[in-house]
Structure formats: C-alpha cells, structure tokens
Structure 1
C-alpha cells in the first residue's frame, strides 16, 4: 500500500487528503466541493468495495463514510477497514441521515472516529474534520517517533553486539594446562557487554598469574574499562603483583571517561615450590573473598582488602599469602553470584552463598564440576529470575 499521507504544516490550518464514500452522486459532489474550499484534496468512491480498493492504492488522512449504501454498507466497510492492519490506522467519520443513538454507538464500537448527521452543519463539519486530522497528526508523529526509536535501538544493538564480541575476545579461549593444577572458568553476562573480566598468564611451568575483575555497571563503559585494564596488564613487564596493581590503578586514574567508573580487580599468583608446596599470593581491591574448599571439607575465606581501582591514585594495597594442598580448591568470583535475585526479589547474599559453599561435597570432582555446583547455588536460588549482574567464577584445584 501507499505510504501514509502527509498532513499540512503544523503552524498552518490542518488540511489533508480525504476520501468521500457515498452512493449518491449529488451528495458526493456537494461534500467534495465544500471540503475542497476548506483546502483539502478530495477523492470520491461510490461504494464500500471501491473505497477499500482505493485505500489500498492511495494514502488518505481521513475517510467520510456514508452508512446507507448498496452491496457493502458503511458498517460492513468500516468493519473490513479496521480488520485490515494496513488500513486500520485511517480515521473514519461516519455520515448518515439516521441520527439514532444505537447507530452512533455501533459505529464507535466498530472503530469510527466520529459521527455526523445529514444535512451537515458547515461549522460542525469543519470542526469535526479538523479534530480528526489533528488526532491523526499526533498519531503519525508518535508512530514516526517510535519508528525512529526502533531504528536507533537496532543500530545500538548491532554496535553492542560488536562490542560484546570484542569483549569476549579479551577472555581466554580455555584455561591453561599446568602439571600441578586443574583450572576451570565460567562467565554469564547480564547485558550485551559485560563488566566482568578474568585472564590467565603462565609465568613458568610452576607459576600462574590469575586476573579477575569487575568494572562498574554494564554496557560499553564497563567494557571499555575492562579493555583498558587488560591493555595496562599487557603494557608492563612488572612481575610483583602489588606493584602491578598500583601501576594499573595509576593508569586508570589518568583516563577520563566522562563518567565515574571504577574497576574492582584482584591478581592472584599461584606458585609451586621445589618441595611441591603451592603458595598463593593475592593483591587487589573491591572483589569478593577468596574461598578455599579444603580437601577435608572445611571452608575458608580470605578477604583481600583494598579500594577498587580508578577511585584515587593514593589507594594502598597489600599482599595476602596462604598455602594450598593436594585436592584443595580455590574459588574466585565476582559479586554477581551473591547478587542473584529470586522471584520474590530477595538476593542470594554472601551469607547464603557461604552456607551453600560449606555444604558442597567436592571429593573426586574436577574444577569444572565444582564450578557447576557453585553456579547451581545461584541458579537454584534464582529459580528462573534473570540475573542482574555478570557472574564470573574461577576454580583452581591442586592435583
């Protein structure tokens, strides 16, 4: 069908392209001349079938439809028009010599914009047409605005999808293989571009550096902060984790993104000594505790104190050190798991999460299986409720 007909400029009189439908030629001509004198362009149809065909070929701003016609009367024409999704937007004023309340009510129920009785009062006719055209102009403006929003949303969705792919490319394709460790990772994002980040860097056969972080919020801003964090890590040759955290913090504080963003970040160095002992050193700020699932079934947690990065250059950081033994599992995570909501909008919380971790039986499980059990704590709590924040888990089990 043709595009919607344009209405006159908003600062001038409201005129449009009208269709007059009446089986009486004299009535059609008389009404057409009156409407043309008011500035409208007018087409005419002798019956309902002809009118419906014309509306499919030509765009009209308003239809004036007589009720009493042969073949297809006004009621039936109106009903077919409103049932057609391509024509239903066209406002219709019903015209008839019958001035009965039942007829008026029936027309309104069928979707008519208004109702006029013959013979016409010139002032009333002009006012009713003007009001109908004004309402159509507002509806057209709203439809154009919604259409523009749809186009903009599609554009943003494409851009966010590209950003998401770039973001995913920053993550390791798979955990590294080390002779003394079994490593697994899991991530679930709450938006197209997530703020969570993790990475692995093998320093030697006996040493691994793990990075895990959580940028403020979601979307492009947080994704950009993650990208800058990884770039900062790659740009330095520093190996001491506390100095490295301080340098990254300094770099992020130098960058002005126009909005307040910060990066919770933790670096974890895992080293196997010549005696076979596994030593863990951790430094950072703003991240959840490190959880240790000991081989004997005990649960321990280590809180790594320190401010998130990019808040202030003056932030101070320290190193926390502990040891792992055979079949111990170290669990790292972002705060997304603890912040999962259930259908009653209650969040899981670290207290409930800790209780769930303490109840796990990890004997004989791989790191991937342990992560699956931990993720299930959140999913069972959420019971289908969508996640509100990115969820990242890293499990490191000593062989």
Structure 2
C-alpha cells in the first residue's frame, strides 16, 4: 500500500509512518511512503504516482487544508482516498472535511496503534466506490454496443447515410423555423453525445485518452475512433462551424462517412468524400475542419485540412514537433489538395490532437493562448500516460483562464507503448 503524506511538520510525518509501519507489519502488509510539505509539491507527486491513500494535514504553509482537499478531489475526479488530519478536535472542521470529500477525519493527538486499521478501512471504502463507478461505466458501454448492433441489423450502410443526411436537412429546417426551441436543443444535445465514444479504446500497443468541453448547449467539435479487422486503427477529430443544431448536422455527416468508408479508403480520399457530402447539403456557411489518422503498426498517416497543428513528441530526441496542415474547411467549393504526412513512431512517442478551442482561449488580458504553451506543457508531460497528458492540458486551461471558455475544447492524446 502506497501513502502520500502532506504535512509540513517532519516529526508528525515520522510519527504517522511509525504507526502505519507497526500496524502493517502485524498484518504482513508492505507499505511505501511519499512525503510533501506543500500542496504544490503534492499536485506534482500525484500526477506522477497515484497513491492508495493521502494523509492531508489541516495546517499547511501554502494553502488551507480544507481548500486543498476540495481542489485535490476536483482535479482527480473525486477518486482520491483522503484522510483529513487536525492537531485538535473541531466538529465544524470535521463536517466540512467530509463534505469536501474526505474518507475519514482524525485528530493527531488521538492517533495510536489502531491508526493502520483506520487507514486500511478508508482505502477499502475508496476501492469499493471505484469498483461501483467502473460497473456503471461498463453498463453504459454495453448499452451503447447494443444500440449500435441494433442499427447495423436494421439498416444497410448506404441507407444509413441517406437517412442521416435527410435527418440532418430536417434538423436545419427545424432550427430555421423554430429558432432553437428548448426541446429541440435538448434532443440535439443527446444526439451529439450519442455520436461520441463513451470511453477510450483498450489497446495493447498504445494508450488513447479523449477530452471534450462544449461551449454551447450543442457543440460543433467531433472525435471518434475505429479499429479494423486487419489491425489498422483510425482516429478522427473535427470542428464544425458554429454551434447548435446546424453544427450537429455536420457532425452527423462526418460520423456516417467515417464509420461506413473509414476502413475502405486512404485518409485523404475519405476527407474528400466527406467534403463532398457536406457541400451537397447546400446550406450556406456550413463547413468543418477535419484531421484523420491511420495507425498501421509504427506508421502513422495523417491527412488534415482546416484544423490546428498536430503535435508529435519524440521520446528518443525528447522534443515536440509542430506539424502544420494548410487548407480550407471541408464543404468548401474551392478546389484544393489535402495535405498528407507519414510519421514513423517509436516506443514512448506521443501525438496530441486538438481543436482550436484551447489555442484560441483568452486570458484576463484578452490574449489568446497560442500553440507555444501547449507545446511546452506537452513536452513536460509527454513521458507520462495519455491520461496524465490530458490532465496537464486541462490544468493549462485552468491556469490560462478562470474557467470561462469561448469555444468548444477537444483534446486527444495518443501514447505509443511499442
């Protein structure tokens, strides 16, 4: 069992370790410790190594312990087992600690030989909660698979495209006639969420993590993935113009083409087909930027137009390269060639895909972030997991702005394991 002790009093930290070690030895359990004196150090430690239990002191030099407790649980999605400690008893503080997400509350003066049992019980409760959340996610995924299987049995591929295009046109008419009635917005939101993957894939050769924060009720950002029978793996990310039902229309078209023809065409050819499909809707100012990746072994084929740069981390060279793809949005009537690049990746390499929501995010001085801070943060976090990379990008977003966004933000992190 691994512990993170957050306490600026060295003597208290040593006392905590003695009691835990004594209790663990009686149970034949192995324990390890990591210690920090400040919350800033703790955040860094937690992003690198998630402990089984965090022992958090109330009095810290850089932040009030209760405030720190809330920030820690918010940053790590309330998945940390935290035991809150104070020097003396206080029922008000105890109640606030439990409300902020503490699994237990102890007074340092009352810590004794049974402290290890208290800690072990808190960890067991945390693991039970984690298993319960996992079962809920598995149920959501199974329901999604059943819905997709039903669709595949009932409709042919080309009939699906025709029906979705007709539904898309109908959605545009509804928006124009009824000015985004509340019930239609809610229906469109459910449609958009149903078109996005519920969770990242589980693959042996790489990790993939996704993140989406929408600006409006129904956003225009889209991401998806597809694994073929021959082992090829496809990733797509896109950004439709505008928000609302019309943006959802373009997303529906892109998803239809991606799942119907994704495994049959070269990436650039598929983007051209999508562009034709969007243009054939014959709706003014309806466009979409798209980036499509095909991963075949250690070869990554990238085709993109109308999207922000792609970032590639080389583990061997310990650097991040920015790949810029020039071109108009899909659906444009302008004749153009879709740029394609091929990367040969190695173990430890990583790729970061993003929509323009992050790099165009304004700070309090109304200055856009740009690509350089993203490149620097990616370089710092690239050695870690795909999930940790996304968490670092979200942290960068929070550092740049107080939480308000001016566009959808989509991120996809890919980490190659072989």
TM-score computed with the length of structure 2 as normaliser: 0.54
Q: Which has the larger radius of gyration?
A: 1
Distance 1:366 1:357 in 2: 11
Corresponding residue of 2:358: 337
Write out per-residue CA displacement over residues 7-36 of structure 1, whole angstroms, 9 at most, x where no aligned residue: xxxxxxxxxxxxxxxxxxxxxxxxxxxxxx
1:195–1:218: 8 Å Cα contact kept in structure 2? yes
Structure 1 unaligned segments of length 5 or more: list them: 1-151, 273-277
Corresponding residue of 1:396: 414
Which residue, 290, 306, 312 being the options, matches 1:292? 312
Which residue, 256, 260, 274 being the options, matches 2:282? 256
Q: In proportion to residue count, which structure has more helix?
A: 2
Paired positions, count: 238
1:337–1:375: 8 Å Cα contact kept in structure 2? no
The 3 A distance-change label for structure 1 pair 238 and 205 is: closer
Corresponding residue of 2:343: 322
1:330–1:396: 8 Å Cα contact kept in structure 2? yes
Corresponding residue of 1:49: none
User: What pairs up with 1:213-362 in 2 under 5 angstroms?
Assistant: 213-236=238-261, 238-257=264-283, 259-272=284-297, 278-296=298-316, 297-312=318-333, 314-358=335-379, 360-362=380-382
Q: Does 1:382 align with 2:388?
A: no
- Displacement of 1:298: 0.8
Distance 2:329 2:186 in 1: 27
Which residue, 366, 372, 391 being the options, matches 1:372? 391
Distance 2:327 2:303 in 1: 8
- Displacement of 1:156: 2.3
Q: Does 1:195 align with 2:195?
A: no
Distance 1:292 1:376 in 2: 20
Distance 1:379 1:298 in 2: 24
- Displacement of 1:313: 5.9
Distance 2:372 2:243 in 1: 25
- What secondary structure, in the 3-state scheme, does the structure 2 residue paired with 1:182 have? strand
Distance 1:284 1:294 in 2: 21
Distance 2:314 2:370 in 1: 22
Distance 2:206 2:229 in 1: 13
TM-score computed with the length of structure 1 as normaliser: 0.57
Distance 2:334 2:398 in 1: 38
- Displacement of 1:339: 1.3
Distance 1:196 1:157 in 2: 21
